[in-house]
Amino acid sequence: MLSRLHAPAALARLPRESRDTLFLLVVIAWIVLPQVDHLPAWCSALVACVLAWRGWLAWHARPLPSRWWLLGLLATTLALTFLSHRTLLGRDAGVTLLVVLLALKTLELRARRDAFVVFFLGFFTMLTSFFFSQSLLTAFAMLLALLGLLTALVNAHMPVGRPPLAASARQAGWMALAGAPIMLLLFLLFPRLAPLWGIPSDAMSGRSGLSSSMVVGNMASLALDDGIAMRIRFEGQAPPQRDLYFRGPVLSEFDGREWRPARGDLGFGTAPHRSLRVSGAPVAYEVTLEPHNRPWLMTLDAAPRRPEMANMNSLQTGELQWLATRPVTDLLRYRAESYVDFRYGPLRRTNELLADLQLPPGFNPRTLALAAEMRRDPRYAEADAAVLVGAALERLRSGGYLYTLEPGVYGQHTADEFWFDRKQGFCEHIASAFVVLMRALDVPARIVTGYQGGDMNAMDGYWTVRQSDAHAWAEVWQAGQGWLRVDPTGAVSPGRIGSLQRLRAPQGMFANAIGSVSPDVAARMRAAWEAVNNRWNQWVLNYTQSRQLDLLRELGFDAPDWQDLATVLSALLVLASLSGVGWALWERRQHDPWLRLLQQARAQLGAAGVALPEHAPPRRMAQALRQSAAQPQAEAIQAWLLQMESQRYAADPAASLAALRRGFKALRWPDPKTAPAPVPSPADLSPPTP
């Protein structure tokens, strides 16, 4: 306890170099902290040990380690990085190396140039945090890191004395504020150019979401992922939540365990909307899709027309899924129009439906036997698809089947185990078993994956669709109507379809504490925070070329193009430059208080006949006064000038600036009429050459 009480006093007694080093180490630790979840465990441990070691050396004023230590640590880092990532290139390996090099460089802080290298490595490491997260919270954390690095940089440009860190922080803050208008101007008007290179192959690693295939049992992990998949803003009344089906991959091939999309031609260019039959009014909406490194454009079933988006084209498969021409690696906003009441596909049975009847041999014999038994039943012998679907759904409703996230590990015959043994499962268990039964009954059927439902945020009116809303449902073909959506999960658990309640992962100790006191308060806080994040996404992360041109339209340009953008940007940059020049000219006249006081003393000595160069320091001024004046007050003036020098440059000045002002007013300055002063030569007043 006593050591903690004496820690601030001990910190104040540290040499300036040790104090500045400790401050820089704290800033570096803050920069690295948001990336700990994305770094290998050995990397985080190594960086923590190196920073702690460097802090111990600074606190106890010990010498830095030899370069052999650094070479050994560097070689170890390269080997461990290669073992962890199987490469030294790419995003993950590059960030790992950069973070360790930043920490190791602190063991080489022998000169100011070494500190500048650390500063610039720190700035670059800050940028790498946005490789993993571009959230508002990450931006705020990096803003604090930026101010910390600027403070350390300003402090490094004050090599003499012991300037307070608070003063350096204020100056860094003013510098950041001065540069903010230029930063904002460039953000708003600098052309949004495509990257010169493609993204690294590991750029989207670690992100969860839908897959292009479905292994029975894997989708349940998404139900515990509370991450946001997309946000929707409906233009007008939103459809009922039970109708919010957002189409993803359609899976037709089944090998007994895994469902995959159909091979070969996906039907590009076949204009599937020609077979799409819709009724009712269209639903217009805007989607802000989170990056998922797939070309899938999630649209509400069914969207007959191409989604409207900037700088990207899209195609529609024969299964009504919209695909972008490149993977979605950034926030993507597009507008779409859908009909929730629709039918599509051939009205008569054709060969193209054969793929949706195939079942792998040797799997699910009891399900096949159940289908054969149903066909022998006179009620179903000649029944159409609608009757057979109704019978299967009734079996799900009345057979004691349960909807659960923990159905256990299924074996080889997944449909058999669901129908006859376990009688419980998640949506993919239910949909898979249902489609297998339909195919065994000679009804074309397939699985559609995507998202179902969502929450409406009352704070901003946006609907939030999360990864936990991931869902799998079935489509069956019926003569005379085409493909129809059937959601067998709704028969097992009606509350899953169109319900605001979902199975969620634990929200953390803080959120649980608030929720235990007041669930409503926790819900409102969550909604407010997500609304703020949505604004950040809409106006910062999703600020695209089209939004730049929209801004020019608001400024009065009828049909803005890139020439207009360049003209406005150039004009504003010239205006900002002129403003900066004007500020510099004004500030030149505004010396700091110490310099103003020294100028007043120089003016008094000049009036008394003591000729001084414009930049003579206080000690030189005292020497000139001693050579030129014999009045008793000259000694007091000389002592005052030496106190001025101490106040500016000494580590522990004896007098404050306010005391020096009072002393200046109390001094009696020499009178040139009673003691004419000889003019010293410039050689006498110029500082000695080193």
Q: Which of 484, 368, 465, 473 is nearest to 428 (CA)?
A: 473
User: How many other CB atoms are there within 10 angstroms of residue 501's CB atom?
Assistant: 8
CA angle (519 as vertex; 515, 522 as ends), nearest 5: 65
Catalytic residue, candidates 20, 416, 455, 487:
487
Q: Which of 556, 452, 561 is nearest to 500 (CA)?
A: 452
Rg of the chain over Cα atoms, rounded to whole angstroms, equals 36
427 given a catalytic annotation: yes
- The four Cα atoms 149, 153, 154, 155 give a dihedral, to 10 degrees, of 100
The secondary structure of 304-316 as a DSSP string is -SPPB-SS--EEE
The secondary structure of 107-146 as a DSSP string is GG--SHHHHHHHHHHHHHHHHHHHHH---HHHHHHHHHHH
CA angle (420 as vertex; 417, 424 as ends), nearest 5: 65
Pairing of strands 253-254, 299-300: unpaired
Name the E strands within 213-362. 214-215, 228-234, 245-251, 253-254, 258-260, 277-279, 283-289, 296-297, 299-300, 314-316, 322-324, 332-338, 341-343
Give the Cα separation of 93 and 202 in Å (integer): 9
Q: Which of 102, 3, 83 is nearest to 41 (CA)?
A: 83
Catalytic residue, candidates 85, 413, 429, 471:
471
Give the Cα separation of 295 and 324 in Å (integer): 5
- Residue 244 in tokens: 């919010």
Distance of CA 467 to the CA centre of its chain: 18
Pairing of strands 314-316, 322-324: antiparallel
Q: Which of 490, 496, 375, 351 is nearest to 438 (CA)?
A: 375
Q: How many residues does the chain have?
A: 690
Catalytic residue, candidates 38, 427, 455, 469:
427
Give the Cα separation of 206 and 203 in Å (integer): 9
Q: Contact at 8 Å (CB) between 628 and 677?
A: yes
Give the Cα separation of 162 and 16 in Å (integer): 6
487 given a catalytic annotation: yes
Give the Cα separation of 155 and 8 in Å (integer): 20
Give the Cα separation of 181 and 303 in Å (integer): 42
Name residue 478's beta-bridge partners.
Answer: 482
Give the Cα separation of 288 and 77 in Å (integer): 40
End-to-end Cα distance, the chain: 50
Q: Contact at 8 Å (CB) between 542 and 311?
A: no
* Burial class of residue 102, CB neighbours in 10 A (0-12, 13-18, 19+): buried
Residues annotated as catalytic are: 427, 471, 487
